[in-house]
Amino acid sequence: MKHTFNFFDQIFEIENGLPNIYSNIFFEKDNKCLYPREVNTSQNNDSSFHKLYNVQFVPDYMVPKLTHPDRFNVKKVSHVKGYAAHLSDFSDVDSYLKNQFRSNAKSIRRYVNRLETCFNINYKLYFGHIDRLEYEFIMNTLEKMKENRFGQRDDQDESLAYWDYTFKITFDLINNKRASLFVIYDEQKPIEISLNYHFNGILYSSNSSYDIDYSKFGLGHVEIYKQIEWCIANDYLIFEMGRGDLDYKRRWSNLIYNFEYHLVYQKRCIWAKLYACVMENLLKLKVYLKSKNIHKYVLRAKKLLSSRNHNKAEDSITFKTSPIDDKISLPGLKPIDFSNAPYSFLKKSIFDFLYSSSEHVTNIEVFEVENEDFFIVKGKHKKIKIVKEL
């Protein structure tokens, strides 16, 4: 009898989610116990265990200890990289930032400062309590953000395939301090959201996205900065970003590790041993093919095929901005409220202007030049023209 499970997901998403083959988990760097469990010594026969366990996504900085190492063997295969920030040596977020980014630390702080200069920003972590209606609003907003972000990239987000399950389990996890929602608000509007899971001093940023109109402000960096700040203040050991070889993860991580596939089988079961040997070789072949970038060619081919039927008409509309001499007067122009839905297409261009000019959003005016089909944005010191291009 075989049992397959995702080690990483189960320790974060399910209370006592690991099967009884494991007694505890240790953090490899300092031998800290992350998952103590009372072993039921009455379960001392092989019939209480499966013959074979396919254990997926075990981070190699975690060392799971078997309840009965005398009965089981383990074969391990490393397959993908994982990314995390190990925080135990740092007293505050800025010391981590300086250590990790060196001379580029200022560029990260600039994102935080510029965001707070241009908007009325506040941050909130829902951890231990959240109202049901507020939970539904934030989670629905996060789902929409992810759809928009991946639609912008003409890509697919795997997490959306099981979003209903995530939505179902997370409310109770937040109220039980096993999960949290970190939200960056512009006034009352969420503009960046991170769904996190908590496990014995580890915060795992599992799902995050942002309002693409604010993309100039590096909201992903701001989110990580603020969450690491919270982690250090609350004596968390690890800020975990999981798998996915992305540039921002490499830049923020001082702990880049391997996810392993563990094949745990009973020593006295011949078929389980044979199965584990076959699977070990298949997994090594898969890792080898991935090292040759075969998976990238497959993904590229799939994208090429799907793009043939994709209508790019809407994507072809872009907006060009150009500066206007500040001395030019603006008589008789129609002022507009760009926060209203009919003008929402202007937001990204206006927010880009705020970023470059360090203007606060309340200090700008926007005018529509009706006969010329363009818009003018006026700040305290600068003006720009926004023109639609086809």
Confidence of residue 313 (pLDDT cuts 50, 70, 90): very low
Cβ pair 224, 172 in contact under 8 A: no
Separation CA 121–CA 187 (nearest Å)? 6
* pLDDT at 44 (0 to 100): 53
Structure tokens at 127: 């951890």
Q: Indicate the length of the chain as a whole number.
A: 390
Q: Could you report the per-residue pLDDT of 82-137, keeping only the tens digit for each?
A: 999 999 999 999 999 999 998 889 999 999 999 999 999 999 999 999 999 999 99
Q: How far is the first Cα of the chain from the last one, in angstroms, to the nearest whole number?
A: 61
User: What are the chain's domains?
Assistant: 2-80+257-296 (no CATH), 89-236 (3.40.630.30), 314-389 (no CATH)
* pLDDT at 47 (0 to 100): 65
Separation CA 26–CA 60 (nearest Å)? 10
The larger pLDDT score, comparing residue 233 to residue 307, is at 233
Q: pTM for the whole thing?
A: 0.89
* pLDDT at 314 (0 to 100): 46
Beta strand 32-33 with 52-59: parallel, antiparallel or unpaired? unpaired
Beta strand 238-243 with 121-126: parallel, antiparallel or unpaired? unpaired
Q: Could you report the per-residue pLDDT of 3-58, keeping only the tens digit for each?
A: 999 999 999 998 777 888 898 898 887 778 887 766 655 555 556 688 999 999 99
Q: Could you report the per-residue pLDDT of 251-278, keeping only the tens digit for each?
A: 999 999 999 999 999 999 999 999 999 9
Mean pLDDT of the region 283-290 = 88
Cβ pair 204, 12 in contact under 8 A: yes
Looking up tokens 């298949």 gives 282
Share of the chain above pLDDT 70, in %: 87
Q: Could you report the per-residue pLDDT of 328-344, keeping only the tens digit for each?
A: 666 668 889 998 988 88
Average pLDDT, the chain: 88
